[in-house]
Structure 1
Amino acid sequence: MSRKLICGVDYGTTFIGVCYAWSDAENVSDIHIVSSWPSTGSTGGDYGHQSQVASRISYQPAEQWGYAIEPRAEAFCWTKLLLDRHTIATEYDDKRLREVDGGGILTLPSWKSAEEVVTDFLTHLYKHVMKYLATIITAPILDLTAIEWWFTVPAVWSIRAQEATRKAACKAGFGSRPGDTIHMVKEPEAAAMASLHLTTRENKQLIEVGDGILICDCGGGTVDLASYLIKSITPKLQLDQVCVSEGGKCGSTTIDRAFHGLMQDRFGESFTKLPQSRKGASSKFMGDFERTKRAFGSLTNDTTYGITLPLDVEQSAHYDEAYSEVLVTSTDMRSLFDPVVDHVIALLEQQVNASESGEAVKIKTIILVGGFGSSAYLQDKVRAWAKTNLGLEVPKLQKHWEAICIGAALCGLEGRGIHNRKARYHIGFVFNMPFRSGIDDEHTAIIDWFDGVKRTPNRMSWVINRGGNITNETQKTESFQRKWLKYSEKKWQLDLWQCISHVAPDWFDEDVKLLGTIDIDLTAVNLTGFPSKRKLSSVHPYKAQRYYRVDYDIAIVPEDDLGYMQFKVLVRGDKVGEAKLRFGD
């Protein structure tokens, strides 16, 4: 078999990282990070951080992206979060997400959708990475080499958002060449692969078979947690997910939004009326705050940080007029960090309890990854909590920023190390189901005219249950019946529903949400041999028409080897067609 390139892509809210390795690579050290990015010169290697590029794009005065955006251009940032705008909010989501005051932060150009903006950004990324790879292995070899692209997505994301990411990547060019493919992997899964490889390389005694580990991926937009049971370490790492992953939109950008709120409270219109080029996410002001944020740690002595921002205000405890600097104290920084840190610790506690109660797996190690996971302040707070409440040490990881990206590539090199995963949602259908005596309401019962079976209408049937085991080979089926006249069209739609409640309801309630609509086509099915029955026509009451009943199954593959949800239509056990899931507006 000819060698492939395996490329991991960690598309984060604030930064995106890409790495690559040949398919015959044997060590983590054989995975290389793309570390050269286009820049304006003044922003090259933004804040000394070149292992990733900023996830932002500008359209005026010209289309620019990443570090190449001119400082005064309006940049659209954090757009990734808008792909998941339809999901149900969690108790840990930052409430300010719906109060951002524009300026490219969680806003869109008037002529673009979130999916289109993400596609535009990923198009620039794809072109640059392909050009970069051509300089490394030469263009002729690259033309002959197939590439597996492994994209990461947050574990807490909806199925709709995962599909939106995949479609945007496809439209951007990823997987477009003959032989190229796009795979999707959850961020905690990639983080587990990378962090365990990296930490065991430095300390082989850190984990053993049978240990429980908790991965906490703290990024810019989201915090994702997942717990795993170590099934084997050699020759390949194999893990089983212990309980349903949890998380929320409470990453490090929550601190940025709180900082903006602090500036508004202190300086009022002098701050709010500034153009976004001076205070927005891609401004020098927020760049300086980003440096301050990364340097801040709980062991830091009381310090006052000066961040340059010319304002029309007088000298005060919060503003140095002589140096045109806003003054932020260590106490201020703690007030910005602590609510986010509290959310992270609450999520950790929730995940530990779920792991040890559901599967009775004792968590032995907690590993922090992600850009925000490298924060000294967050690390110290989590270590103190883990030691006091669990008696655990939290190991130091050398590559917090790159871990997700490297882990995605490892999934391509070694295979997906997580064998059993836990379904995050109940997924199912609603239809007329057999009546349950003593449970269902007699007043709503109906009798099927075709077979005389007593049924209860519009009851939920959950094919996949939250917390259920899922592997790449898992296939769940639901049986249906459809009645047709012989020459009527055999195409129709079937709604697919999801619910995140711990206990799935039998009937519609506020937690049951439409996931999408499945297009079904059974045109190729020959009705001969299926049961039939004549029924008087409602139009011509003295004329009976013959109806055929087809029993068919819809098979759902929750997550195939590419990381996608797939559907198949089966009649008498044979596959007769595909079912396509469409998402509404």
Structure 2
Amino acid sequence: MDINNHHHHHHHHHGVYSSLHPTQAVHSLASEVNDANQNRAHLIVGIDFGTVFSSVAFAFVANNEVREDIITEWPGTGTLPKQEIPTVLYYDGHQNVVGWGLDIVDAIGSIGYPKAGVQKVEWFKQRLMLSGNADNDHIEPYLPHGKSEIDVAADYFCKIRQVIHTHLQKTLGEAFRREEKNIHYYLTVPVVCSDAAKAATRAAATQAGLLSSENETQLTFIEGPKATAMYYVKTGLFNWKLADAILIVDCGGGTVDLVAYEVTRENPFALTECTTGSGDSCGSIALSRNFAKMLRAKIRRLSWGDRPGRLFAKCISDFENRIKSDFHNNGQKWSIDVGVEADYPEADIQDGYMSFTNEEILQCFEPVVNRILELVHNQINAIQAHGHQLQNVLIVGGFSASEYLFREIKLRIPSQFQSKVVRPMDSASAIVKGAVMVGIAERVVTHRIAHRHNLSSDYPPSSHQ
């Protein structure tokens, strides 16, 4: 197997490998693993720690069998399987966590609004990513008194750790107790992620007890698009050929991340980064910030003093849960039931509904979508400048559910690529499953070769899909 990249600090040519001959892969794997350590087991946990949603998957590799799974049982979900949970915490006045993810029954009052004295804290990942930046304190939402972004992230990781332990204990039994100390975590990060942000994330994971110490080896950071690429290579969803280029546009809550790969080998299959990755803070929460700003301006016209907290929360949640994904820029007027008795035409409130014009919602979207398209165009230009053949543009991530965003990308991309723009169905779980596949490739096949940055997905057939 050739090694594209000996220099682990040189960041632009990571290969992603996958074998087309699983039987061969098993033999080569068996000999490699046996050389190293007769029955070495591996427990790999992927965490997609997102600004809005997070998810966890794992793989247990022993005796050349792989067991892979995604955690779908979370506190607060009852019997409903959920592949991702909100990245949110609720604190009481003493800075104790009284709710998190979907487990919020003790934090929320009867009308879906935090109980008196309870503070909802979300989007804290964005603050973690800006750790060490001077302007970090001016980002909303504000953190609980006396807690840093590292403390808050640690509280969240601590809750996630408890679920991982419960789940793995139940799934693997005795094997989990044996391997618990050797868990390797693969945690997703944006393409543009400073060393300070990584250090802050590592500190939070350590504080939460995910890591035994801030040791380098137990936690590996992986760029979101790289994990996604690995997943689609392994699942063989696309019929990519030698020299094809694939652009992955990962539209998340906090950031939009773009990386282009080229197929550098077909047998075994290999993908290598062919442009410099790019990204910016133009994810779906940028829309929410724009909407909140417009909403505040509307509410100010009411001159109610401090009464509109619930009205504000109601509008925000309706925007998040309905308008954001349903907006089509088709002239539709949006009405939100705010339960206000009197009419306030100055704030567009009538018959208990607050209304928003198509134009008002469009203004929330436009700057965000324009920035995403600028990033897409820059990547396509770079791909063409290098003479690569662009075969697919994959629009993935939670924000890709926006019909308007997807349509605008399709409409505004150079016409010869319009038919190449695809939005795979399973992209929500692709990233976290891909993170685990990267872990298997790095740990199991190449754990004797230090700091090797190309990814080999030559591993034995999974015994559990």
Q: Secondary structure at the match of 1:314?
A: coil
Q: Secondary structure at the match of 1:401?
A: helix
Distance 1:86 1:116, change over 3 A: closer
Q: Paired residue for 2:201? A: 165
Q: Paired residue for 1:189? A: 226
The one-letter code of the counterpart of 1:345 is L
Q: Paired residue for 1:361? A: 388
The one-letter code of the counterpart of 2:154 is T
Query: 1:51-109, CA deviations, whole angstroms, 9 ceiling, x for partnerless residues?
Result: 211112122054122222323131111111112325789xxxxx9x9876x4xx1x222
Q: Paired residue for 2:69? A: 32
Pair 1:210 & 2:228 matched? no
Pair 1:260 & 2:287 matched? no
Distance 1:26 1:311 in 2: 63
Deviation at 1:175, TM superposition (A): 3.4
Distance 1:88 1:355 in 2: 32
Deviation at 1:209, TM superposition (A): 1.8
Pair 1:84 & 2:117 matched? no
Distance 1:21 1:315, change over 3 A: same
5+ unaligned residues in a row in structure 1: which ranges?
A: 90-94, 420-470, 475-558, 562-585
| Alpha-carbon RMSD | 3.7
Deviation at 1:389, TM superposition (A): 5.9
The one-letter code of the counterpart of 1:16 is S
Cα contact 1:74–1:277 (8 A) shared by 2: no
Identify which of 158, 161, 169 aligns with 1:123. 158
5+ unaligned residues in a row in structure 2: which ranges?
A: 1-38, 109-113, 456-465
Cα contact 2:253–2:283 (8 A) shared by 1: yes
Q: Secondary structure at the match of 1:155?
A: coil
Distance 1:37 1:343 in 2: 35
Distance 1:50 1:307 in 2: 27
Distance 1:182 1:195, change over 3 A: same
Distance 1:270 1:38, change over 3 A: farther
Distance 1:320 1:36, change over 3 A: farther
Q: Paired residue for 1:342? A: 370
Deviation at 1:405, TM superposition (A): 0.9
Q: Paired residue for 2:3? A: none
Deviation at 1:278, TM superposition (A): 3.0
User: Any residues of structure 2 matched to 1:46-65 within 5 Å, and which?
Assistant: 50-61=82-93, 62-63=96-97, 64-65=99-100
Distance 1:364 1:188 in 2: 16
Distance 1:224 1:308, change over 3 A: same
Identify which of 286, 302, 320 aligns with 1:290. 320
The one-letter code of the counterpart of 2:201 is T
Deviation at 1:302, TM superposition (A): 4.4
Distance 1:270 1:405 in 2: 45
Distance 1:211 1:297 in 2: 34
User: Any residues of structure 2 matched to 1:62-141 within 5 Å, and which?
Assistant: 62-63=96-97, 64-69=99-104, 70-71=107-108, 72=114, 73-85=118-130, 102=140, 105=141, 107-138=142-173, 140-141=174-175
Distance 1:239 1:271 in 2: 58
User: Any residues of structure 2 matched to 1:522-561 within 5 Å, and which?
Assistant: none
Q: Paired residue for 1:306? A: 335
Pair 1:14 & 2:52 matched? yes
Pair 1:413 & 2:448 matched? no
The one-letter code of the counterpart of 1:194 is Y
Distance 1:378 1:26 in 2: 43
Distance 1:8 1:261 in 2: 35
Cα contact 1:7–1:21 (8 A) shared by 2: yes
Structure number with bigger Rg: 1
TM-score, structure 1 normalization: 0.60
Cα contact 2:46–2:435 (8 A) shared by 1: yes
The one-letter code of the counterpart of 1:182 is L
Cα contact 2:400–2:423 (8 A) shared by 1: no
The one-letter code of the counterpart of 1:113 is S
Pick 1 or 2: higher relative contact order, CA cutoff 8 A, min separation 6: 2
Query: 1:285-316, CA deviations, whole angstroms, 9 ceiling, x for partnerless residues?
Result: 43332221454153x85433332334586254
Deviation at 1:36, TM superposition (A): 2.1
Q: Secondary structure at the match of 1:243?
A: coil
